[in-house]
Structure 1
């Protein structure tokens, strides 16, 4: 079964000869163009093709290429930026300037997005001057060791995509393509990676080159030491949640291999009637605090959204409300989403006073609260609850939560609390998100 299954998966994910030839042709043309421009401007710069398209581990349908402009290590940073962007702009009149650790250009060339990234050509990864300087070393290492395992990497990439744990960006916090490549190099095949993955425990260390710098602590669920940098954990972006989801998926796949692990059925948008029935059967309430999405990149947005999610959950807990599950979602509008177990409380709450042996404090407490009484050898008093619904509390105190700079500014301009079926007003993509968020049973 698995061999037939793998053949079927590869037929769907392996680029055709035509796709591959086009990708390589574009890469060569861009490199020739950039090298020629560098010579014309008298710059000591050369260009290389890196990433999965250079290593032949990319998946069908990929529309972007990574091209790095290699500058001498003694080039001043400002000159690298200036000359690098000037050269990159020559590739195509259709380009966009983007920012990571430093600026780069994404140019549209013959139907492909070409990322043109200036970096330093350093002696080894121990002397990098910016994070992108490692990429050429990653490229060299994988090309040297992959030894016919290209399709095994493709299988692992598609598997992690299918089970929802692919992508090291902060929105996903999952497995990078390079991490997938290293797991296949370590275990020799897709099967090997999955078999070992099923047995992973938090804190697992994988050190292919046996050169881990033990002076560096890695508090991550999975530690995969970069073969080109003994101080770096390639899996540092992987969250504990995605790590555990991967382990679970490996175990389930080994018990019952299926195409659905690679190509799961698309989540159906939650319908109004189904949502009403599900919440009624559970006895829970759905809240979505929505606001305009700040105009920032996702790797800046999502940490702020998660900070807001965590801060709001703690605010609710301090006031005796209880969320069953929480998450964040973003499109044109963003939302902090909560399924509430307790969203309404009695009109009174108990206010604790001092213990009886603190006589002076007790007298002041009784003077302030004549109706105080003894419970457990201390004074207590029943007082009106300031916020007896979660919605009232959020409306009053959301802006006082830890929100992150841009999310705080957006919420400051106005937010809305949608409840239950009203949350579907956020649109069909949010409705699909709800199906997964609520772990809705298949119909």
Structure 2
């Protein structure tokens, strides 16, 4: 079958070689040995374990990430866990960066691998977690116990999700996590079975592999996949409705016409100025771009703030009778941008200001006294007044800082922001051309 050939071709490209797998495994064991030895030397009651896709043998060729968890007794005070955990983690490499999730951890480089060293509480079961990361060892145990030789099927699903742009639960992407993709393989038994099921996914679908969902907990997310180790948790909580429906569409397209390009799509070429001008002129729209310095925060903090700002700006524009056709947010770590494709960006110099209903005689007469040119418009008074901001870019410059923007994004915008029009957006920074192609849905 054509599909079998496509899957074999794909797997040959994505499955790590025996040598690559052995080198990664031995590196992980070496780090664990060093952590355990250092903990014993310092008298810390800690041991290290290897978790994540590289521990579960569901990782893709070329992946250079290793997750090591430092297991502390549950009775350890949080301050001590952080202090001793970071001390142990720093002992692995001089090339490291301290990062923050629910509590601090170390991201280090060791023998060309990117190592995340995360302190956690070694709780007896997932119902007794003290921090969110405490679940990860249980996730590891569950997948190892239930993957049943379907590791390569999980690899195919992950690569497929990569190829169609829905893989990654970080808040920039809001797609499928690695653990979620592995659970779908456990549930349906094979990549093609996930595709078959995925083509019929719908908003509100509940997948409960263990049949233990806590029904006292409400899950408003578009897809609900109950964590096999925690009946209260939705593994798909980070998945956006957009990415869910993109996955459904991709599954249907693969069923209709299986194609290796869905696993390995061509590199997206950035839009250049001539193409962007052609697109804008053909569509008759206008691009407005708000750009500002990227605040020094991690992506999972930045992107929710950017989306909050985007929604607030769109709401402000439409409240003032401008019309936004589509919008999106972008950052390359140095600059940020809120890009708006405008259907209506210029309005007449007058606007109608509505007064009270005529039934409210006292208020209506006061309005008529204030505005000598007031007239009856339906059941209320109205008056034509000069429009303060007849252009969308003028409104943005005047009112942007009054929008709900998120703490760090607001601080950055208050320091300085620029509103660009049309193809000037291409000057924002490297990577914006690729973003524009995706935003404008240009093949």
When normalised by structure 2's length, the TM-score is: 0.98
Q: Distance in 2 between matches of 1:356 and 1:36?
A: 83
- Whole-angstrom CA distance in 1 between matches of 2:191 and 2:73: 38
Aligned partner of residue 66 in structure 2, secondary structure: strand
Taking the TM superposition and a 5 Å limit, the aligned residue runs for 1:290-305 are 290-305=291-306
Q: Which of 376, 397, 402 pairs up with 2:378? A: 376
Which digits, 9 at most, give the CA deviation of each residue in 1:107-150, with x for residues without a partner? 21111011111111111000011111111101111001111100
Cα distance, 1:273 vs structure 2? 1.2
Q: Please report how far the alpha carbon of residue 428 of structure 1 lies from its aligned counterpart in structure 2 after TM superposition.
A: 4.2
Equivalences for residues 11-410 of structure 1 within 5 A:
11-331=12-332, 332-410=334-412
Contact 1:207/1:224, CA 8 A, preserved across alignment: yes
Per-residue deviation, 1:246: 0.7
**Range moving further from structure 2, 182-191 or 360-369:** 360-369
* Secondary structure of the corresponding residue to residue 431 of structure 2: helix
Query: For the residues of structure 1 that align with 2:360 and 2:90, how far apart are their CA atoms?
Result: 75
Rounded Cα–Cα distance in structure 2 between residues aligned with 1:356 and 1:26: 80
C-alpha separation in 2, matches of 1:97 and 1:381: 60
In structure 2, distance between residues paired with 1:307 and 1:72: 39
**Does structure 1 conserve the Cα–Cα contact (< 8 Å) formed by 2:286 and 2:341?**
yes
Offset at residue 95 of structure 1 (A) = 1.7
State which drifts further: 31-40 or 210-219: 31-40
Aligned mates of 2:119, 2:74 — CA distance in 1? 12
Asked if 1 retains the 8 angstrom alpha-carbon contact of 2:187 and 2:209, the reply is yes
Instruction: Look up the SS of the partner of 1:193 in the other structure.
Output: helix
CA distance in 2, matches of 1:434, 1:377: 46
Distance in structure 2 (CA, Å) of the matches to 1:215 and 1:230: 10
8 A contact 1:269–1:432 mirrored in 2: yes
What SS does structure 1 have at the residue aligned with 2:366? helix
Output the CA distance in 2 between the equivalents of 1:54 and 1:345: 59
Could you say what secondary structure the match of 2:225 adopts? strand
Q: Kindly indicate whether residue 431 of structure 2 is the aligned counterpart of residue 429 of structure 1.
A: yes
* CA offsets 1:232-281 (integer angstroms, 9 cap, x no match): 00000001111111111111111111112111112211121111111111
Whole-Å separation in 1 of the counterparts to 2:69 and 2:429: 39
In 1: Cα distance, 2:139 partner to 2:310 partner = 35
8 Å CA contact retained: 1:307, 1:404:
yes
Partners in 1 of 2:83 and 2:430 — Cα distance? 43
For residue 224 of structure 1, give the secondary structure of its aligned residue in structure 2: strand
Q: Deviations over 1:185-236 (max 9, x none)?
A: 0000001111101101111001111111111110111110100111100000
* Contact 1:269 1:428 (C-alpha < 8 Å) held by counterparts: no
Q: Residue 355 of structure 1: CA displacement?
A: 2.6
In the alignment, the residues of structure 1 paired with residue 428 and residue 438 of structure 2 have an alpha-carbon distance, to the nearest angstrom, of: 16
Give the Cα separation in 2 of the matches to 1:141 and 1:357.
68
Question: Is the CA contact (8 Å cut-off) linking 1:308 and 1:402 kept in structure 2?
Answer: yes
Partner secondary structure for residue 37 of structure 2: helix
Conserved in 2, the CA contact under 8 Å of 1:212 and 1:225? yes
Question: Displacement of 1:439 after TM fit?
Answer: 1.1
Give yes or no for contact 2:337–2:428 (8 Å, CA) kept in 1.
no
Task: Quote the residue 2:413 is aligned against.
Answer: 411
Instruction: Kindly provide the CA deviation profile for residues 167-193 of structure 1, in whole angstroms up to 9, marking residues without a partner as x.
Output: 111111110000000000000000111
2: CA distance between counterparts of 1:339 and 1:226?
Answer: 39
- Which sections of structure 2, spanning at least 5 residues, go unmatched? none
For the Cα contact (< 8 Å) 2:69–2:119, is it kept in 1? yes
RMSD, matched Cα: 1.0
> Secondary structure of the equivalent of 1:165?
coil
Count residues in correspondence: 441
User: In the alignment, is the contact (CA less than 8 A) between 2:204 and 2:223 conserved in 1?
Assistant: yes
2: CA distance, partners of 1:193 / 1:50: 24
Moved more, 372-381 or 48-57: 372-381
